[in-house]
Amino acid sequence: MPNAASTGHAPVSRWKLFSFAVPAVPISAMGLPLVVHLPPFYAGTFGIGLTTVGAIFMLARFWDVFTDPVLGILSDKFETRWGRRRHWIVLSVPIMMLSVVMIFMPAGGVTPNYLIFWLFVLYAGWTLLTISHMSWGAELTPDYNERSRVQGAREVALILGMVFVLTLPVLIDQLKPENVAAARVASMGWFVLILLPITVGLAVWQVPERPTPTPVHVPFGQAVSALVQSRPLQIVLAADLIGGVSGGLVASMFIFLADDALKLGQYSSMMLLGYFLSGVCFIPPMLWISRKIGKHRAAAYSALFNAVTIPLILFVPQGEPAIALGVWVLLGVNMAAGPFLFRSIMADVADHDTVITGQHRTGLFYSMLTSTSKFGAAIAIFLAYALLDRIGFQAGGDNTADVLDSLRAVYVWPATVISAAVFGILWFFPIDQAAQQANRAILEARGLEAAAAAIATRTGAPSDAQSSGVAAD
């Protein structure tokens, strides 16, 4: 298949790729503490209570789902001399830094109102940063395969951010502070506070945005109709939604599985490190595979791989960390494939929408992508705990062998079935490399015609530029 150079588009240099991707390290460093460390910290250290803390974090997640499309539209709408994305990224930094201080390093007594206010502010800043960064990555190159390389580099940075955050509690424990929980959370906050302005500054300074044409006005009804009727968009969002449910199920039950069913004890964190590091190591092979067979086929086979390998968990014996580590390393082989391939595919979907509507709505499309995964994860938390309650599981309690076997079953089989469904959905995705290149040819021709028309307007010369057609589904 042709590469970026052969299609007339220079590949993104390694330095620009690094500079663009590195803000993903502090971006991802926010995600793990928000799920794993902050809820028990506020419930235990400040005595707010598990039910109240759980409700607050659930509301914050649904607030994030609401703000995603709003901030995505803003990210598309206002352009400055910096471009369409970078000013929003810079604006998000002070919002993030202030809210990180208030959430990760709270002083004095903390009330539920305090927590919910600053958590909402944190999520708003984080969403603005994330959507703008993903959209910027989609617009760095118009090339089909180069987009996967850009999003793959970002995924490496995201995983490394999670790995670094996982090691911080281990280092803090060696120092034996007076309040271990507060020290762990504060160390994660400092990690973000230090790296966020440095990495964003490097990206904004070193990586210019590609010029994008000013979108033409399209009536609201027509714009919404294009979204509703877009089969490519429906396929990606459906696969991402149920994939988010699958990922949320296994994430929310992992500690229970590792501690209670597999009896791994202190080796549980090692499973996660092996999983993430495996994901980093196998991103280059996944990029190679996607170039050979196409992005949507690679993502489909990635889901099928999950469906085949997840049941191996059923055969891991209790108290055998070496065997468990081997299984989790195997599971991690393509843990990053789905996320970065979905983001690369969404860039092609945004091009398809631009061909049809004339609007440039990359930020909106990426906000929809982040919303579906978050909504899927929120559903998964409810489903996971409902299933655990149904089988009579008690965290840290005296569970029978039948209950522990049921725990493994509810961990494995829903995720397996969902992964098989994702494979089936993605297999029929209609935009392959040829279709994407046809869309890009139309958009670039329109850009040349618009430039010629603008020159003709300034000089008074006639222009015969005509509107381009619509790419095939």
**Residue 31's CATH number:** 1.20.1250.20
411 three-class SS: helix
pLDDT attached to residue 5: 46
Asked if the structure places residue 70 within a domain, the reply is: yes
pLDDT attached to residue 221: 59
Q: What is the mean pLDDT of residues 400-424?
A: 94
Say whether both 31 and 162 belong to one domain.
Answer: yes
Judge whether residue 222 has pLDDT over 60.
no
pLDDT band of 211, cuts 50, 70, 90? confident
Structure tokens at 447: 């850009």
Asked if the structure places residue 9 within a domain, the reply is: no
Q: Where is mean pLDDT largest: 231-240, 255-264, 266-275?
A: 231-240
Asked if the structure places residue 452 within a domain, the reply is: no
Say whether both 227 and 341 belong to one domain.
Answer: yes
How many independent structural domains does the chain possess? 2
Say whether both 400 and 368 belong to one domain.
Answer: yes
Q: What is the mean pLDDT of residues 248-261?
A: 83
pLDDT attached to residue 1: 45
Say whether both 63 and 91 belong to one domain.
Answer: yes
Which range marks the domain in which residue 141 is found?
A: 20-209
Judge whether residue 413 has pLDDT over 70.
yes
Q: What is the mean pLDDT of residues 160-170?
A: 84
pLDDT attached to residue 181: 78
Percent helix / strand / coil, the chain, rounded to 5:
80, 0, 20
User: Pick from 209, 236, 271: which residue ends a domain?
Assistant: 209
pLDDT attached to residue 273: 82
User: Pick from 209, 233, 268: which residue ends a domain?
Assistant: 209
Say whether both 336 and 291 belong to one domain.
Answer: yes
Say whether both 412 and 293 belong to one domain.
Answer: yes
Q: Which of 3 and 194 is assigned the larger pLDDT?
A: 194
pLDDT attached to residue 461: 52
Q: What is the mean pLDDT of residues 22-50?
A: 80
Say whether both 376 and 420 belong to one domain.
Answer: yes
Say whether both 167 and 306 belong to one domain.
Answer: no
Say whether both 205 and 336 belong to one domain.
Answer: no
Say whether both 186 and 322 belong to one domain.
Answer: no
Say whether both 187 and 58 belong to one domain.
Answer: yes
pLDDT band of 48, cuts 50, 70, 90? confident
Q: For 334-346, what is each residue's pLDDT tens digit?
A: 888 888 899 899 9
pLDDT band of 470, cuts 50, 70, 90? very low
Q: With the CA atoms of 309, 315, 321 and 325 taken in that order, what torsion angle do they form, in degrees rounded to the nearest 10? A: -10
Q: For 189-201, what is each residue's pLDDT tens digit?
A: 999 999 999 999 9
Q: For 423-440, what is each residue's pLDDT tens digit?
A: 999 999 999 999 999 998
Asked if the structure places residue 298 within a domain, the reply is: yes
Say whether both 238 and 205 belong to one domain.
Answer: no
Of 126-140, 360-374, 380-394, 447-461, least confident by mean pLDDT is 447-461
pLDDT band of 473, cuts 50, 70, 90? very low
Asked if the structure places residue 244 within a domain, the reply is: yes
The mean of the pLDDT values for the chain is: 83
Q: Please state, in angstroms and rounded to a whole number, the distance separating the CA atoms of residues 88 and 281.
A: 32
3-class SS string, 282-307: CHHHHHHHHHHHCHHHHHHHHHHHHH
Q: What is the mean pLDDT of residues 117-125?
A: 90
Structure tokens at 76: 């598309």
pLDDT band of 468, cuts 50, 70, 90? very low
Asked if the structure places residue 216 within a domain, the reply is: no
- In DSSP notation, 153-172 reads HHHHHHHHHHHHHHHHHHHH
Q: What is the pTM of this model?
A: 0.75
Q: Which long-range contacts (CB under 8 A, 24 or more apart) does 101-104 make?
A: 101/189, 101/193, 103/38, 103/189, 104/33, 104/38, 104/185, 104/186, 104/188, 104/189, 104/190, 104/192
Of 91-95, 153-157, 357-361, 431-435, least confident by mean pLDDT is 357-361
Residues with Cβ within 8 Å of residue 395, at least 6 apart in sequence: 256, 260
Q: Please state, in angstroms and rounded to a whole number, the distance separating the CA atoms of residues 104 and 124.
A: 16
Judge whether residue 469 has pLDDT over 60.
no
